């Protein structure tokens, strides 16, 4: 009689596991084929009715019921630089928004007031609106021009030191 060692048992485990899976699959196939054979004998030569319809294009309603919560990948908090009453919201919830799109309109009447105390509020409103316009101009025009001149100055400094001039941004350094 041969004694099974621990190493021998460990080497036989994969083969035993494979045989167990094959036996399970074979038994499932026999049960399914036996069920099909009994259904074929009970149905006999019954016919199945077929109906015909024209093709239509319309929505296919799919409803998913479940509990849970939906969280957006990205969220944005809108903050106004100027206080005022919101007149119009130019976007819908969930809409894709790109840089430069109009998001909201604030009532300019509060900053450029013509009612009581307008002598006090008008200079403040003009200052606020003018400051917003200047900040927009600085952001959109002055900043790129400053970077252009900085790039040209860096190229000039490299040439003076005798190095090969390589512009940081292609096409900007050539005068």
Residue 135 has pLDDT above 70, yes or no: yes
What number is the average pLDDT over the span 110-126? 66
Contact between 87 and 103 under an 8 Å Cβ cutoff? The reply is no
Query: Across residues 60-66, what is the average pLDDT?
Result: 81
Whether the predicted pLDDT of 155 surpasses 60: yes
User: What's phi and psi for 169, nearest 5 deg?
Assistant: -115, 130
In sequence order, what DSSP letters do the residues of the chain get, joined into one string?
-PPPPHHHHHHHHHHHHHHHHHHHHHHHHHHHHHHHHHHHHHHTT---------------------------S-------SS---EEEE-S-TT----TT---EEE-TTTTT--STTHHHHHHHHHHHHHHHHHHHHIIIIIHHHHHHHHHHHHHHHHHHHTPPP--SSTTTS--
- Residue 98 above 80 pLDDT? yes
Range with top average pLDDT, 4-8, 30-34, 49-53, 120-124: 49-53
**Per-residue model confidence as pLDDT tens digits over 18-59:** 888 888 777 776 554 555 555 555 555 678 888 888 888 888
State percent of the chain over pLDDT 70.
Answer: 72
pTM score: 0.26
pLDDT recorded at residue 2: 65
Give the pLDDT band of residue 164 (cuts 50, 70, 90): low
What is the C-alpha separation between 100 and 143, in angstroms, rounded?
A: 17
* pLDDT for residue 32: 47
**Token pair for residue 89?**
């919201």
Question: For residue 39, what pLDDT is reported?
Answer: 57
pLDDT digits (tens, 9 = 90+) for 69-86: 877 777 777 777 767 778
């Amino acid at each position: 009689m041969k004694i099974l060692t621990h190493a021998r048992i460990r080497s036989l485990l994969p083969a035993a596991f494979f045989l167990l899976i094959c036996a399970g699959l074979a038994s499932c196939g026999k049960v399914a084929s036996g069920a099909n054979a009994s259904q074929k004998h009970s149905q006999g030569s019954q016919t199945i009715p077929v109906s015909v319809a024209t093709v239509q294009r319309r929505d296919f309603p799919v409803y998913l019921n479940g509990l849970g919560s939906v969280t957006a990948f990205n969220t944005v908090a809108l903050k106004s630089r100027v206080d005022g009453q919101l007149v119009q919201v130019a976007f819908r919830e969930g809409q894709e928004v790109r840089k430069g799109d109009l998001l909201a309109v604030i009532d300019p009447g509060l900053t450029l007031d013509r009612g009581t105390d307008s002598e006090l509020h008008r200079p403040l409103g003009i200052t606020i609106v003018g400051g917003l316009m200047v900040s927009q101009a600085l952001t959109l025009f002055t900043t790129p021009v400053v970077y252009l001149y900085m790039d040209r100055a860096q190229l000039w400094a490299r040439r003076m030191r005798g190095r090969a001039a390589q512009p940081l941004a292609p096409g900007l350094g050539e005068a």
